[in-house]
Amino acid sequence: MAPREGRPAERPLLDVFASLIVERDSQKGIVIGHRGDRLKEIGTNARQQIQDRLGTPVHLDLHVKVLRDWQRDPKALNRLGF
């Protein structure tokens, strides 16, 4: 997360970059959905919740990444903060 540079103080914007981690390519397709519809829905809901909690407008940048068997990999779990 970082405030967007060059924005006036009365109109701040927070840039949030997030990755959705899945284990399989098929799961990536499910999360993205047909023509990106599901990912758009996830992003819209998440952005609204973040804005409500922080009280500032948010630009949410989502990416879906495949990390094979990350739930059983101690290094991957540690890197992801678990």
- What backbone phi and psi angles, to 5 degrees, belong to 66? -100, 125
Per-residue pLDDT of the chain (82 residues; tens, 9 = 90+): 999 999 998 999 999 999 999 999 999 999 999 999 999 999 999 999 999 999 999 999 999 999 999 999 999 999 999 8
| Domain boundaries along the sequence of the chain | 18-79
Gap between the Cα atoms of 68 and 23, Å rounded: 5
Residue 23: predicted pLDDT: 96
Which CATH number does 18-79 carry? 3.30.300.20
Query: How deeply is 58 buried, as exposed, middle or buried, from its count of CB atoms within 10 A (0-12, 13-18, 19+)?
Result: buried
